Amino acid sequence: MFWTSATTPNQLLVLAVLGGFLLWGGMLFNGTLNALKLAGETGTLPDGGSLRMVYTGWEIIDSNLRVLVTFFYVLTTKNSGPSRWLLLDAAIVVRSINAWVLIESRRRGVRHPWLRQ
């Protein structure tokens, strides 16, 4: 039979690689990741605003937080088409993960207290 109900580890690996490439590959090729890194290094947001440079006092953590802050700032404040599509994509991913957790929690034999009904 072509379609089985269970997925193999290889299928999940291929889907994970494909999903990661579709999400991060597009951002890498269109220059978004470079712009986020540049904003984190210079302290200037893409729209010209200033970016807070110190959050915890540890540079290794602060550098990653600056990239995240810039990413979500552009995602939530920019009124262009691509940022709206990326926000829609992020919402779909979160909803899919939520549905997956709910479905898995309803299986027999779930012992974790967070997933019990």
Query: How remote is the C-alpha of 104 from its chain's centroid?
Result: 22
Q: How crowded is the C-beta side of 112, counted as CA atoms within 13 Å?
A: 8
Q: What is the pLDDT of residues 28-49, one digit of tens each?
A: 887 878 888 888 888 888 778 8
Domain ranges of the chain: 8-78, 80-117
| Mean pLDDT, the chain, integer | 79
Total-model pTM: 0.57
CA distance 62 to 41: 11
CA distance 111 to 84: 39
- pLDDT higher than threshold 70 for residue 79: no
Q: What is the pLDDT of residues 100-117, one digit of tens each?
A: 877 777 776 666 666 665
DSSP string, 22-59: IIIIHHHHTTHHHHHHHHHHH-B-TTS-B----SSS-H
Contact (Cβ atoms closer than 8 angstroms) between residue 33 and residue 26? no
